[in-house]
Structures are given as C-alpha cells and as structure tokens.
Structure 1
Amino acid sequence: MTSIRRRTLTLIIGLMLAGLALISVLNLHDSNHEIAEVYDAQLAQNARLLQGVMRMPLASEEHSDLYRAFNLALSEAVPRVDGHPYESKIAFQVWNRRGQVLVHTASAPSFTSPPSTPGFSDVTDLNNRHWRAFLLEDKQNDLRIWVGERDDVRADLVERIVRHTLWPNVLGSLILAAMVWMAIGWGLKPLADMAATLRARHSGSLEPLHLTPLPSELEPMQAALNRMLAQIQEVLGRERRFIADAAHEMRTPLAVLRVHAQNLLEAGTEQERRESLEFLIAGVDRTSRLVNQLLTMARLEPKATAALHSIDLAQTVRDSLAQLTPWLLSRNLELAFDVIDSPCKVVSDAAAIDIAMNNLITNAANFSPEQGVITVQLNQSEGFYHLSVDDQGPGIDEADRARLFERFYSRGNAQGAGLGLTIVNTIATRLGGRITLVNRPEGGLRAILSIPDGKPLDAMQRVTRQPPKR
C-alpha cells in the first residue's frame, strides 16, 4: 500500500484537476455564449447603422454615387498597416426590391437569390466557410441589408480566451500542488516521527513510547501501543516465572523418581520391587498434580477478566462437589453441603469457582483424618456470598497463616505442590472477593471464599467494601 502522504496528495490533486477541468468547460461554454451575444448585437447594430446611411434623403444620381463610394471603400478592406486582419472576415450586402446588389464587400459570400428571412441565421458559402449573419428588411425603402461575420473570428477569440486563462490555471495548479505537498508533509510530520522512532527501536525493546508533543489523533495510537507493550511484558514475565517455577519445582520430584526407578532395578525381592513401584507411582502422581497446578496458575495470572455470566452459585458448587464425591468416598471421607434457601444468582465465572472448589476440597481432604467429614456451607451476608469449607484436621498455626498463600509453600503435606491456596486467592481477587482461613473452635480449619453478590467490584470499591472477617 502506498504512503498516506502519496494517497492524500493523489486524491487532492485529482480533485483539483477535476475541478479545474469542470471550471474550464463551464468557462468555455459561458465564453462562447457571451461572445455570441456580443457579436450578434454588433451585427444587428452594424445593419441598422448601414440602414441609417441608406435612408439619407438624396437624389437618384446621388444615391448611385453613394453606393459607388461605399463599394470603393469596402473593397479596400484588406489587411494593411492601418487595418485589421478581421476586416476581410466581416461582410455587408444591400439589395433593392428587384434583387439588385447595391452595396457589397469583396469578401461577402455569393447568393443565387437574396435571403428572405429576417433576423439571425447561419450561412455556408460556396467555399464551405461558415457565416453568422443578420438580415434587416427596410420596407420603407425596399431594401434588404445583410451583415455577416465568419465563424472563425469568434472561434479565434474563444481560443485566445481559453489559452490566456488555461495556462495560468495550469501553472497555478502546479504551484498549488507543490504547496499542498509541503503542507501535507508538515501535517504528517508527527506520524513520520513516530514511524522513525519505531523503526529505530531495537527489536527486543519493550519500553513504552513517550513522544511529545503529540497530536490528539496520535495519542490513542501511542496509548494502544504502550498497552500492547505492557501486555507483552506481562506475558513474557509470566512465561519466565512459569519456566522458573517449573524448573525449580520439577527438579526434586524428577530426582526422586530417578531414585525410585533405580531402586526398582536393584530390588532383590518381589516385596522390594513392589514397594519401589508404589513409591514410583506415588511420585508420578505428585508430579502430575504439580504440573496441573502450575498450568492452572499460568491460566489464572492474566489480568484480563474472563467472560462473566449470570450463574446460580449453589448449582455451580453442587456440580463441583458431585465430581469430587467419588474421590472423597475412595478416601473414606464424607461430604456434607448446607445451602441457604434463597436463590444464589451472581455474575461471575463458573469455571474459576469450580477450580477454587477443587482446590479447597482437595486441601481439606489432605488434612482430614480417615472417616472424617468435610462440610461445605453457602450463606449470604453484607453483600457477599460466603462459601466455607470445613475439615477436621489439625488447623493452622498463627505463625504459618501469612505464608499459606505463598507460591510453593506447603505445610504438613508431603504430596502437596504448595499452589492450591495461592490459586484460590488469585481467583478470589479476580472476582472481587477474598479468601479467609480460621481455626474452628471444635477443631479443624475453615476456609471461607467470599464472592460479591453483584457484579465484580473495581479496585476502589474493593477498598471500601471488604467482606467481614470470620
């Protein structure tokens, strides 16, 4: 695609030339019309002047002398030093009632019979020359006065007018085009400066643009570019964190799996091989959970909010618990769900809530004793839905409470990856709520996920509308 400057200039020059052509055509039409009107008036005026001379009260012999004097004077109408080239292109003829020619110029066209229609007419002579003529009938003196003018007189005048007006217009258009070119270049200079700045930047540079002064039309473009660069930096940062976390956390499990594999190869009895194989399977399961948690964290980190829809929070929790029930039963654990009677409609992300429930239930199951009961409750107060998960485990120490939401911090669970509560905390923040951990008086831990009962809140609303602590 051509440059904006060239496209704009082509459009402007094209419109200018089209306008000039239209104006020239209109000027030519108007010039022809006005010239025709003026020359026709002169023809009529010359005919009446000649009529006035022919009406002079003279004797018969004096009229003959007058006609001879006229013809003699008109016969000298040839280009001379004191004459004009157009004299031979203007003709006069006068006939009497008998059709005899009384007065005529040498250049006048020949007629087989005198014209009989008064007024203006177009005539073509024997030499194929075109005349514009005017015939005046003088019935008082039985005269017909004919005055004619060749068309090339008018055509030459129109050509001169067009030539004298067209060339200045063309020259002025060229000068105007050069001025428009420079004006467009000056107007597009900020855009050219931005393009030059972008071309000069290193391919790996992600620093924001700070071009000043900047026209108002380019400010949204600079802001959009800076947002895109910030998003790229964020994506690269998440990628680096994910790679660093994965490399850090996968190193130990892989080393443990290698030890179990070596023990399996070196086992001397069936019992030792079986134990090594069980350890190897458990290590693979733990590594799988670690990978899944890392991928979940990677999906949850972007700042952009997922598509939010109106959902039934109670039904969403029921669906999550239905998926987890067989797994809990296999671990000899019971599940109880207590929900309020009123509808639990919220605008939220069902997938995110499902992930949070999976992590909270898994965390409760890891710390619950065999034959234990995990209780899930859903209630509403002060503009929030509170989803609590209770276990019958040992609870938490106050010294460890602040660290439980750190990445890869796992307390008292050798099979944990240390990411479950971090994921839940990320989801709660994205949905405008929070996660709270409290020890139950009767023993065990209660994890409370508080979700706004309306649309997700912005940062300022979160400061002024925090869920109550339990």
Structure 2
Amino acid sequence: MTERKKRFRSLSIRLLMILTAAMLLALVVNILSILDYVDDEAEEVLDARLLLTAKNLLRQSERFVREGNLNEAWLTLETIRGLENTWLKEFAMMEGGLFGTEVDSPGNEEIRAYVWFASADGLVKIGQPMPGYGAGKGAGLQTLRYDSHEWRVAAVQNKTAEHFLYVAQRDDLRTYLVHEIGGKLLQKELLSIPVIVLVLWLGIRRGLRPLSRLNAQIARRKPGNLQPVSVENIPGEIAPLVESINRLLKRLQSSLESERSFTANAAHELRNPLAVVRNVARILTRTDSMEEVHVSGRILDKSAERMGELLSQLLHLARLDALTQADLQEPVVLRTLLEDVVAELVPEADAQGIQLAYSCSEEAVLQADRELMSLLVHNLLGNAIKYGHQHAEISVSRDDGALRLEVLDDGPGVSDSELPHLFERFYRGTVAKQQAQGNGLGLSIVKRIVELHGFRISAGRRTEGGLRVSLLIPEGSWAPA
C-alpha cells in the first residue's frame, strides 16, 4: 500500500461498504420477516388440518363405540397415528434439510404423533395417549414441550362433551417448512449478493465520475492559474465544495495581486532614496569641497532616515499580516495610552509649530493589544501633525454604547474622490505628495490593526478644512474604568 493510499481512504470503497452493509441488513430483516410470515401461515394451515383430522376421527370413533366395534375404532386410530408418524419422520429425515437429518436407532423408532379417544374425565378408551398430557384441558389447540420438541395438540369434543378425541403432532413438518423455505431464500440471497455489490460498485463509480473530472481539471492546471473552477455539469452535492474552492482561489488571487503590488510599490519607494545615495556617493568621490561633503552628508542622512522609516513600516505590516487576531488578554487603560503617545509626539509637533490638543471625557479600559493600539494612535496623530497647518487634536467621547476616538487636523485634507483609497497601501493623495514626504503605509497599518480588533474606522473632510479620522470601538470591547 502506498503512502498516498494510507493517508486517503477511497470514498468509493467507503460508500460501497456502507451500502453493502445496509443491503445485507435489509436482506437479513427481509428473510426474518418472510420466515416469520411463513411460520404463521404454516401454523394456520397445519392447525386447520389437525383440527379437521381430529373431528373426522371423533365421528368415526363414536360410531364404532356405539356399534361396539372397539377393534375397528382402535385400528382406525392406530392407522392414522402410523401414517402421521411416518410422513412426519420423512420430513424430519429428508436430505438437504438445513436443520440436519435425524436417524432413529434400530428397535427404538421415535414417535412423532399420538392419537387417542378419551372420556370427559380423562379416561383413555382407545389409542395411545401422549405422555404427560393431563386430562381436563378442554377442547382447542395447545402447544406443549415434550421430549426436547414442541408438540401441537388438537382436542375436539362431541356435542354432549362426553367424549374427546386428541391428535398430538410433533413440530417436524413446521420446522421443515420454515427451514426449507428459509434455506432456499438464503441461498438465493447469497447468490444475488455478488451481483448486487457489482451493480453498486458500478453505480458508485459512475456517480463519482464528476469528482474524477473535477480532480483531473484541477490537476491539469498550471501553478499560476487561479481562474475559477468550472461548475458545468457539477452535481448539486459537490457544488458547495466547488464554490468554496472558487472563493478560496479568488481570495488567493487577490492576495497574490496585493503582494505583487506591495512588492512593486516597496521597490519603487526604496529606489528613490537608493538612487539619491548612489548619486551622492558619486559626488563625494569627485569633490574636495568640505561644504559639498556636509551637504551630501545631510542628504544621505535624510535618505537613510526615509529608508529606515519605510523598512520599519514594512516590518509592521508583515507582522500584522501574519496575525489572525489581536492579543486581547491584557486590559488597556485608554487615558494612559493616549497620554504616553501625545507626550512622545509633543517635540515633533513643537518642531513643526503645531499646537497639539488632547481631551478625554471618558475613563475607559479597552480589551485590546496595547502595543498595536499605541502604534495606531501614533500613526493617526503623527499624520495630523505632518499635514496640519497650526492645530492637531485627539479626543475621546461616548457614542451611544460605543466609544469614539477622533483625530482632527486643519491641513489641506483630501478630495472626495481620494477618500475611498485613503487606507490603501502606498496610497498618497495629491496634496500629500506635494507637501510632505511619506510612503503611504501609515493609514494602511492603522486599518489592519482596526481589522484585527474588530473595530471600525472612517475618514472625512471637515467643513472648516482638514481631515477627520474616527475610530469606533464597539460596546463589549471596552468598559468604564
């Protein structure tokens, strides 16, 4: 058995085993039902015959007794008993019976029938009574256990209830009928099983043919082919599977396109500072002027700073993309978090002449990742400082059951057409490209952090000018401090 076969069990064989087991169970139930029906029918027919025989013998025995011809009466009963005994023995010893062949020992022939004529008080007048059968049981049919066999006894009485005639018959014929019919049925069912299994196997293989075609279709694909799998002639049972595969392929294609775009944009962003470094290096190799050396050093320092910032944000994105959800184990006090970030950015705001305002009307504890939330607030407030003219503000307020964190600036803002793209990777608006350096990754990092926490974020233009970014923290993700 190959390693592949060890890992994957055949669906065809599994279905065949299940259906075969169900079929065998149905056959067994069917045979048992038929045997039970045959047993009931045989008992009904044989009981009717037994009663009819007893009634006929009662009439004959009474007539012989009235005529005083007891020998004739005895001979009649013994003849019937002998005939019953003989043909029951034939059934019991019949070859091919499923319950075996019985053999009587010489000189000790088994008795399989009893016939006797008795009075109402149980006194046997003619015939051989069945051992152990007591008097006074009345007319009708009874089943008794005697000599390791079941016996069926038919008792009939005359009109005056003065005389009774009994016919007792062992269960040989009943057993033969049930076993013989059951044996024939079993033989036929056993012979039909291979045919049924073959038909089931062919039907399963045919029914699973769409899966084979689907497997072949996917196996023939080239590694870069992420087009949807064809759903033509696909059975309804596997259509959800194919649709799930197509959705997965679509997400994978989108992810690969995003990765390719990300790589191209990252290469483009790195190309510019690297080109500056290369050009400055060439200048340094050809100049003897200390002034040019100092200028070149400042240029190299800015280029290195830009590349360092870009690489830092790329590493942040790589780390965030690898996460499936944020670490929510440690509670975060929002006021403390905001004060730390504001204190860190005050020198940068002062350097650019930006008045930084901060207000927090709600004391709240977040279920969030502190490091990621700090990065989120740092990027939002850093953008406000970078693009603001004179003011940048961060505030916290309650919005129904949610918590709203807003960052405002009085900068140039963005146009309505640019707002939907604001959180895309490497996207920078027209004004942003003209007024400040950057790489377009800050807000995309913010968006990814928001997604990991299950928050919501939006951006819009302020009527008085500038940009408003709103972070909505839903109820259940925070609690009053």
TM beyond 0.5: yes
1:360 pairs with 2:384 = yes
Q: Which runs of 5+ in 2 are unaligned?
A: 1-7, 93-109, 365-371, 398-403, 420-426, 475-481
* Number of the residue aligned with 1:46: 53
Residues of 2 paired with 1:361 and 1:339: CA distance? 16
* Number of the residue aligned with 1:458: none
Residues of 2 paired with 1:321 and 1:194: CA distance? 58
Residues of 1 paired with 2:220 and 2:81: CA distance? 84
* Number of the residue aligned with 2:102: none
CA contact (8 A) 1:301 1:426 kept: no
- Using the TM superposition, give the Cα deviation of residue 89 of structure 1 relative to its aligned residue in structure 2, in angstroms: 7.2
Which amino acid in the other structure matches residue 466 of structure 2?
A
Q: What CA deviation, in whole Å up to 9, does each residue of 1:74-111 have, x standing for no partner?
A: 7688979xx9945997644447789898556xxxx9x8
- Using the TM superposition, give the Cα deviation of residue 239 of structure 1 relative to its aligned residue in structure 2, in angstroms: 2.0
Give the structure with higher Rg (CA): 1
Task: Give the stretch that moved more between structures: 352-361 or 142-151.
Answer: 142-151
1:248 pairs with 2:255 = no
Which amino acid in the other structure matches residue 326 of structure 1?
P
Q: What CA deviation, in whole Å up to 9, does each residue of 1:397-444 have, x standing for no partner?
A: x9xx99x9359984366xx345379869989xx967446599x9xxxx
Tell me the SS of whatever aligns to 2:27: helix
- Using the TM superposition, give the Cα deviation of residue 206 of structure 1 relative to its aligned residue in structure 2, in angstroms: 0.7
> 1:179-190, aligned counterparts within 5 Å?
180-181=200-201, 184-185=204-205, 187-190=207-210
> 1:148-297, aligned counterparts within 5 Å?
148-170=168-190, 180-181=200-201, 184-185=204-205, 187-254=207-274, 256-257=276-277, 280-294=300-314
- Return the match for 1:2 from 1, 4, 9: 9
Q: Which runs of 5+ in 1 are unaligned?
A: 441-445, 456-470
CA contact (8 A) 2:408 2:466 kept: yes
TM-score, normalised via structure 2 length: 0.61
> 1:9-24, aligned counterparts within 5 Å?
9-24=16-31
1:132 pairs with 2:134 = no
Residues of 1 paired with 2:51 and 2:73: CA distance? 22
Cα 1:149/1:288, change in 2 over 3 Å:
same
Which amino acid in the other structure matches residue 22 of structure 1?
V
- Return the match for 1:335 from 346, 355, 375: 355
Which amino acid in the other structure matches residue 245 of structure 1?
N
Which amino acid in the other structure matches residue 23 of structure 2?
M
> 1:292-371, aligned counterparts within 5 Å?
292-294=312-314, 320-329=341-350, 331=351, 333-337=353-357, 352=376, 354-364=378-388
Cα 1:423/1:325, change in 2 over 3 Å:
same
- Using the TM superposition, give the Cα deviation of residue 325 of structure 1 relative to its aligned residue in structure 2, in angstroms: 0.9
- Using the TM superposition, give the Cα deviation of residue 207 of structure 1 relative to its aligned residue in structure 2, in angstroms: 0.9
Residues of 2 paired with 1:157 and 1:170: CA distance? 20
Residues of 2 paired with 1:65 and 1:435: CA distance? 124
Q: Alpha carbon RMSD of aligned pairs, Å?
A: 6.0
* Number of the residue aligned with 2:440: 419
Tell me the SS of whatever aligns to 1:13: helix
Residues of 1 paired with 2:118 and 2:405: CA distance? 120
- Using the TM superposition, give the Cα deviation of residue 449 of structure 1 relative to its aligned residue in structure 2, in angstroms: 2.9
Identity of aligned residues (%): 20
- Using the TM superposition, give the Cα deviation of residue 197 of structure 1 relative to its aligned residue in structure 2, in angstroms: 2.2
- Using the TM superposition, give the Cα deviation of residue 254 of structure 1 relative to its aligned residue in structure 2, in angstroms: 3.5
Q: What CA deviation, in whole Å up to 9, does each residue of 1:353-377 have, x standing for no partner?
A: 642332232345xxx7xxxx54448
Cα 1:315/1:182, change in 2 over 3 Å:
farther
* Number of the residue aligned with 1:449: 468
Which amino acid in the other structure matches residue 440 of structure 2?
L
- Using the TM superposition, give the Cα deviation of residue 328 of structure 1 relative to its aligned residue in structure 2, in angstroms: 3.4
Equivalent residues, number: 418
Which amino acid in the other structure matches residue 467 of structure 2?
I
Which amino acid in the other structure matches residue 382 of structure 2?
N
- Using the TM superposition, give the Cα deviation of residue 190 of structure 1 relative to its aligned residue in structure 2, in angstroms: 4.1
Cα 1:133/1:278, change in 2 over 3 Å:
closer
Tell me the SS of whatever aligns to 2:355: strand
> 1:353-392, aligned counterparts within 5 Å?
354-364=378-388, 373-376=390-393, 387-390=407-410
CA contact (8 A) 2:152 2:168 kept: yes
Cα 1:354/1:190, change in 2 over 3 Å:
farther
Which amino acid in the other structure matches residue 242 of structure 1?
F
Tell me the SS of whatever aligns to 1:411: helix
Which amino acid in the other structure matches residue 25 of structure 1?
L
Tell me the SS of whatever aligns to 1:134: strand
Which amino acid in the other structure matches residue 285 of structure 1?
E
Which amino acid in the other structure matches residue 53 of structure 1?
Q
* Number of the residue aligned with 2:42: 35
CA contact (8 A) 2:64 2:72 kept: no
Residues of 2 paired with 1:101 and 1:86: CA distance? 30
- Using the TM superposition, give the Cα deviation of residue 42 of structure 1 relative to its aligned residue in structure 2, in angstroms: 3.5
- Using the TM superposition, give the Cα deviation of residue 340 of structure 1 relative to its aligned residue in structure 2, in angstroms: 11
TM-score, normalised via structure 1 length: 0.62
Residues of 1 paired with 2:343 and 2:41: CA distance? 97
Tell me the SS of whatever aligns to 2:305: helix
Residues of 2 paired with 1:57 and 1:79: CA distance? 25
- Using the TM superposition, give the Cα deviation of residue 165 of structure 1 relative to its aligned residue in structure 2, in angstroms: 3.5
Cα 1:408/1:210, change in 2 over 3 Å:
farther
Residues of 2 paired with 1:388 and 1:4: CA distance? 61
Cα 1:76/1:314, change in 2 over 3 Å:
closer
Tell me the SS of whatever aligns to 1:55: helix
Cα 1:78/1:451, change in 2 over 3 Å:
closer
* Number of the residue aligned with 2:369: none
- Using the TM superposition, give the Cα deviation of residue 56 of structure 1 relative to its aligned residue in structure 2, in angstroms: 0.8
> 1:81-100, aligned counterparts within 5 Å?
85=90, 91-94=113-116
Cα 1:289/1:437, change in 2 over 3 Å:
farther
Tell me the SS of whatever aligns to 1:202: coil
